[in-house]
Amino acid sequence: MTKPKLPARLSHVTLDEGSIGHAGSDIAHERKTAIWDLIEENSFLPCGDPGTGPYTLHISLMDNRLVLDIGRETGEQVVQHHLSMTPFRKVVKDYFLVCESYYAAIRTATPSQIEAIDMGRRGLHNEGSELLLERVKGKIEVDFDTARRLFTLICALHWKG
């Protein structure tokens, strides 16, 4: 039996400026695009919340922890979750290494080489998304596509440009 799509969703997402620091215009554009993609399509429900959203989400880093601050559009706080970044470190690092290889390959590699690197990149992105699903289990209900978009934003906190 397929689980129905969650009725609750995110309507607004922000990244903490203090966590991300200064970045070039390309990185800033990538971050805005990742947020736009998440807002456009997501399923997001804090466990135990009687509301149906829509919700707001502020993402930050504090003391090696990912902070997910969830609220209502009215400004009322719903819940704040702190997740250790330690389990994410390796997959984020590997993801960035493969992304660098991918962007370098676009300039010089054959289409089959680019495709192979891209498959690895997508595989690492899926791995990070599965890890995120595992880490928020019992805290926030999200579907896999939303977890993918959220993992992109976790990576966005680490983009340096």
pLDDT digits (tens, 9 = 90+) for 9-30: 999 999 998 877 666 676 777 7
Residue 147 makes CB contacts below 8 A (sequence gap 6+) with 129, 130, 132, 133, 136
Give residue 103's pLDDT: 83
Give residue 137's pLDDT: 97
Give residue 5's pLDDT: 45
pLDDT 10s digits, 70-126? 999 999 999 999 999 999 999 999 988 888 888 888 889 999 999 999 899 899 999
Give residue 1's pLDDT: 45
Mean pLDDT of the chain: 88
Give residue 40's pLDDT: 94
d(CA 36, CA 43): 14
Give residue 155's pLDDT: 86
Give residue 23's pLDDT: 64
Nearest to 56 by CA among 47, 44, 40: 44
Give residue 44's pLDDT: 95
Residue 157 pLDDT > 50? yes
**Are the beta carbons of 13 and 155 closer than 8 angstroms?**
no
Handedness of CA 90, 92, 93, 98 (dihedral sign): positive
pLDDT 10s digits, 141-156? 999 999 999 998 888 8
Give residue 151's pLDDT: 94
Residue 4 pLDDT > 50? no
SS3 66: strand
Give residue 57's pLDDT: 97
Give residue 161's pLDDT: 52
